[in-house]
Chain A
Amino acid sequence: MDVILFTFFGLVAIVGAVSLVIQKHPISSALSLVSVMVALSVLFLLLGAEFIAAAQLVVYSGAIMVLFVFVIMLLNAGAERESRKAGLAQFLGLPLTAVLLVFASYVITQSMSNAKAVKFGAFTGGGPREVGWALFTQYLLPFEVTSILILVAIAGAVVLARKEID
């Protein structure tokens, strides 16, 4: 059952990611990205990272992508016109992508050669309590630094938006 679900949602994520790139219309691309996010959230859930799965669903597919879709609809962006492809990219695009993928998987398998295989249901420390505990003890400094960074970003956005209005 776990393997079937993993395969299905893994495929959904890959198809969504490819479709994100090749779709012509911005709305279709945005929705492909949403499907990738939802599929990723299910994959997190399958691996026992419950809190991350919920956060992925609430934050990425529920909030950020809604904002994306909202802006695309507000600007009423139409389908993109296909640009003239550069000659080199037309011939070397796909082979180079394949080379990159092979190289990346080689590096990952080499650097993690002693990692054990993942078992479904083996990891149980992904609930909200465990994640919260880890964030406020072991990773307190990175957590606080990230919070300040986001606060600065919000303040910056407000200042920039105000300048535009005046």
Chain B
Amino acid sequence: MDFILLSILKTAIAAPVLLGTLAYLVWIERKVLAHVQLRIGPSRVGPHGLLQPIADAIKLLTKEDFIPSYVNKFYYWLAPWLALMFAVTAISVIPIGPVVEVFGIKTNMGQADISIGLLLILGLTGMGVYGIALAGWSSNNKYSLLGGLRSSAQMIAYELPMAMAIVSPLLIVNTLNLREIVNAQAGYTFGILPNWNVLGGGLQIFSFIIYLICAFAETNRIPFDLPEAENELVSGYNTEYSSMKFAAFFMAEYCNIITACSVATTLFLGGWHPIIPNELGGQFIPTLVCVFFAGVLFYHALNPSRPSDRLSMGAIGAVILGLGLMFQVPGVKDLAQPLFWFASKAGFLIFFFIWVRGTVPRFRYDQLMRFAWLFLFPAALLNLLVTAFIVALKSN
């Protein structure tokens, strides 16, 4: 099939899914945060607030797009779309499954499969800082400017240990192509321990931790969300923004979280490979997980704490049960199971991001910088040296 036609088709599938995920990630974050803090969270729009993202989208679209008179118009307009564009583009090189055959067409699950995949992600996420820095500068507001400055300084500081942490597993898998990186992590040590880079593949646990810490800083998340520290800077770089421009920054941030978690999944957690070998029952785990959640929901449908739960819990439980059975349908199986593993690994990391937000307080800015340069960078360097030494010893 024509390459361009296939790419357009894939984009047509991936783009709505991505935007839907972004919208519902906000709902998930608010819900998880609420439960961490013993609140209920969004619950008014639809059952369990499930329609809240749609209401939010309508609100943001129809809100007045207010442009303050003192801003630098061109850059003020450019900044949010710059941030969003680079954030969305970076996702395109991430492989979410093996090469599959759908309707007789052989294709890889993922948009682009290129030899410099990882470098491209680093480059594009690095470009994303222009959006934030420009927003802060063009707003012509001291708080915004401080937010933009903090963001660029933070990005530069944390990109170094992040790159160092990425290089260590690369020494083991010996390629920059994300698909080959995942393929190198296939198989199991002693038939049970997965050959993921973080486990049996090379015990890259320190690289993984350093990468995760840096990912928090690169995506401007708590505990490193100094660019928008609301008790110091009102809302930081996006203080002067409203309507869709504000939403664009929001979407860019969530997009960056998805990218960071997907990269961690491909680099360290073995991408779409199951945690237990398929021969030992790994292929039944997706179904079992779905059946478990469906069971919990059915229980709540039969013992409702609110009258409306009887219907909503039951309906969602039935959907999840159907999803679980789908994982065993022969034709769909090869497509759905890798997706399940990739999504559950990346999804757990995203949950971890939200979890940390509900748990850890914010750093002070000097602490943030000292931590990056005096602890994280030397630690990443040491980790790289040890890994290189072991790889050199092994290859002899």
CA distance A14 to B136 in the complex (A): 28
* Contact B116 A127, beta carbon cutoff 8 Å: yes
Known contacts A63-B159, A70-B153: does B123 contact A128 (CB below 8 Å)?
no
Q: Which residues of A contact B123 (CB under 8 A)?
A: 41, 54, 57-58, 61-62
Cβ of B124 under 8 Å from chain A: yes
Per DSSP, chain B at the interface is helix
CA distance A70 to B119 in the complex (A): 23
Cβ of B327 under 8 Å from chain A: no
Known contacts A50-B116, A62-B127: does B122 contact A70 (CB below 8 Å)?
no
Cβ of A13 under 8 Å from chain B: no
Cβ of B107 under 8 Å from chain A: no
CA distance A63 to B116 in the complex (A): 18
Q: Which residues of A contact B152 (CB under 8 A)?
A: 66, 69-70, 73
Known contacts A69-B130, A73-B137: does B149 contact A58 (CB below 8 Å)?
no
Cβ of A51 under 8 Å from chain B: yes
Cβ of A74 under 8 Å from chain B: yes
Cβ of B49 under 8 Å from chain A: no
CA distance A63 to B160 in the complex (A): 10
* Contact B122 A62, beta carbon cutoff 8 Å: yes
Total number of A-B contacts with CB less than 8 angstroms?
75
Q: Quick one: which of B115, B134, B136 has the most chain A CB within 10 A?
A: B115
* Contact A57 B75, beta carbon cutoff 8 Å: no
Cβ of B129 under 8 Å from chain A: yes
Q: Which residues of A contact B148 (CB under 8 A)?
A: 73
Q: Which residues of A contact B176 (CB under 8 A)?
A: 128
For B118-161 the 0/1 string (1 means CB < 8 A from A) is 01101110110110011011000000010011001101100100
CA distance A55 to B335 in the complex (A): 34
Cβ of A53 under 8 Å from chain B: yes
Question: How many residues of chain A are within 8 Å of chain B by beta carbon?
Answer: 25
Instruction: Please give the distance in Å from B13's CB to the nearest CB on chain A.
Output: 23
Cβ of B17 under 8 Å from chain A: no
Instruction: Please give the distance in Å from B244's CB to the nearest CB on chain A.
Output: 22
Residue in A closest to B74 when the chains form the complex, CB atoms: A28
Instruction: Please give the distance in Å from B92's CB to the nearest CB on chain A.
Output: 14
For A27-70 the 0/1 string (1 means CB < 8 A from B) is 10001001000100100000000110111011001110011011
Residue in A closest to B153 when the chains form the complex, CB atoms: A70
* Contact B156 A54, beta carbon cutoff 8 Å: no
Q: Quick one: which of A38, A61, A69, A129 has the most chain B CB within 10 A?
A: A69
* Contact A62 B126, beta carbon cutoff 8 Å: yes
Known contacts A66-B130, A128-B176: does B115 contact A57 (CB below 8 Å)?
no
Partner of A53, one of B116, B127, B149, B156: B116
* Contact B127 A57, beta carbon cutoff 8 Å: yes
Known contacts A27-B75, A128-B119: does B126 contact A58 (CB below 8 Å)?
yes
CA distance A142 to B159 in the complex (A): 27
* Contact B149 A50, beta carbon cutoff 8 Å: no
Can you sample 21 A-B contacts with CB below 8 Å? A27-B134, A27-B137, A38-B127, A50-B115, A51-B119, A53-B116, A54-B116, A57-B127, A61-B127, A66-B130, A66-B133, A67-B156, A69-B133, A70-B133, A70-B152, A73-B133, A73-B145, A73-B149, A76-B145, A127-B116, A129-B115
Closest 8 interchain pairs by CB?
A62-B126, A57-B123, A54-B119, A54-B116, A58-B123, A70-B152, A127-B115, A50-B116
Which chain B residues have a beta carbon within 8 Å of chain A's beta carbons? 75, 114-116, 119-120, 122-124, 126-127, 129-130, 133-134, 136-137, 145, 148-149, 152-153, 155-156, 159, 175-176
Q: Given contacts A66-B156, A67-B156, A76-B145, list 16 more A-B pairs with CB under 8 A.
A: A27-B75, A27-B134, A34-B130, A38-B127, A41-B123, A54-B122, A54-B123, A57-B120, A57-B123, A62-B126, A66-B133, A69-B133, A70-B133, A73-B137, A127-B115, A129-B175
